[in-house]
Chain A
Amino acid sequence: QVQLQESGPGLVKPSETLSLTCTVSGDSIRSHFWTWIRQPPGKGLEWIGHMHHSGSTNYNPSLRGRVTISVDTSKNQFSLKLTSVTAADTAVYYCARLAAVAEGGWFDPWGQGTLVTVSS
């Protein structure tokens, strides 16, 4: 059974960098694309981006170059970095496996999510 678990600071100061890690168990990170999605409190879902261990990435243009997703195959983990955060980046951040189809796909399974609050 594939499981994903997010980890990282729950509080980040404005203008700083949000950093999260997703640990994958029950599957090899080399076998699929992996993705980050976020959900502001009480709101809908926003795709952040995804990547493959080969280095192929695809990011949401709405994040305007602030996002980087990377993979650590030795630890079976992938990570998210979001720079220059503001209060608008406060959200529950989910990691998920992408069932890749063409340049996109659907998300399954998901991690439990981690709330990141941007505040001074």
Chain B
Amino acid sequence: DIVMTQSPDSLAVSLGERATINCKSSQSVLYSSNNKNYLAWYQQKPGQPPKLLISWASTRESGVPDRFSGSGSGTDFTLTISSLQAEDVAVYYCQQYYSTPLTFGGGTKVELK
């Protein structure tokens, strides 16, 4: 199984400041034949289901604000919120789809400072 490890477990960020969330996979999720990273990011607000933000490590879903960006390749990935808004308070998860079982990181809770 590919183990996904997120850091930090939580972080407190002031409004308008940058939030950076890391995700590391136990093996590469870069598929060499198409040079794509099989990694997605989700946002989960309290009492709600997760919402897909990013697929292919860096492709934002339609309607997702451009303050959200994904980067990285191979085993190390980052989700960046460039200017935190109050509505961004949530838990963020990464997920690999390189192989089954499909696995998630443990989540990073983003709070307001």
Contact = CB atoms under 8 A, between A and B. Distances in A.
Interface of A: 44-47, 58, 60-62, 94, 96, 99, 101-113
A108 B98 contact: no
Interface residues of B, number: 24
Interface in B68-104: 93, 95, 97-104
Contacts of A111: 49
Interface of B: 31, 38, 40, 42, 48-52, 55, 61, 93, 95, 97-107
B99 to A, nearest CB: 7
A44 B101 contact: no
Contacts of A47: 101-104
A interface secondary structure, majority: strand
Given A44-B93, A110-B50, A99 B55 contact: yes
B98 A46 contact: no
Given A94-B49, A106-B52, A46 B104 contact: yes
Given A45-B104, A47-B104, A104 B97 contact: yes
B101 A110 contact: no
Contact of B104 (A44, A62, A104): A44
